[in-house]
Amino acid sequence: MHSGWGAVTHTRVKVVGIIPARYASTRFPGKPLALICGKPLLQWVVERCQKASTLSEVLVSTDDERIRDAVKEFCRVEMTASNHPSGSDRIAEVAARCPERCQLMIMSHSETELRLLNELHATGSSVDALAGLPLD
């Protein structure tokens, strides 16, 4: 963003981590709420994402009330329509509702939890370098 002649100011990019969660999987119904060491799988993913300095905010998008009820204890939840064919569509719905807060979205899936934090840091550095803007 330019302000006046010759002076350049930078705006901070808000990077939001959105985790699509679906209960009705055909291979593993209820996977996001499956307990691992006493916590739902989805909680492990959320906590890892929250540790990434790249992300301004982390939220879960779901069409299932069971997931919403479990997740609202530790993370913001956005309900979506149940007819989305993919997690990307669920994320697009959430992004359309909050354009001022979701300038850049990073999608995370529950099965990537173990390598997630390193990838988020690397992705954030790439985004920062490409955009030329400091990240929140």
CATH code, 72: 3.90.550.10
Do the domain assignments include residue 94?
yes
Q: Taking the mean position of all CA atoms in its chain, how far away is CA 12?
A: 18
Do the domain assignments include residue 6?
no
Do the domain assignments include residue 10?
no
Overall number of domains in the chain: 1
Rounded to 5 degrees, φ, ψ at 106 are: -120, 125
Do the domain assignments include residue 40?
yes
Query: pLDDT per position in the chain (136 positions), as tens?
Result: 545 555 555 556 778 888 889 998 888 899 999 998 899 989 988 988 888 888 888 999 999 999 999 999 999 999 999 998 888 888 888 888 876 666 666 666 555 544 444 555 555 444 443 344 343 4
What is residue 118's three-state secondary structure?
A: helix
Do the domain assignments include residue 105?
yes
Characterize 19-49 residue by residue with b for buried, 16 or more Cβ atoms within 10 angstroms of its Cβ, and e for exposed: bbbbeeeeeeeebbbeeeeeebbbbbbbebb
Predicted TM-score of the model (pTM): 0.70
The residue range of the domain holding 40 is 15-125
Residue in the structure block whose two tokens are 């350049």: 8
Do the domain assignments include residue 66?
yes
Question: In the numeric block, which tokens belong to residue 46?
Answer: 């959320």
Task: Report d(CA 64, CA 75) in Å as an integer.
Answer: 15
Do the domain assignments include residue 131?
no
Do the domain assignments include residue 41?
yes
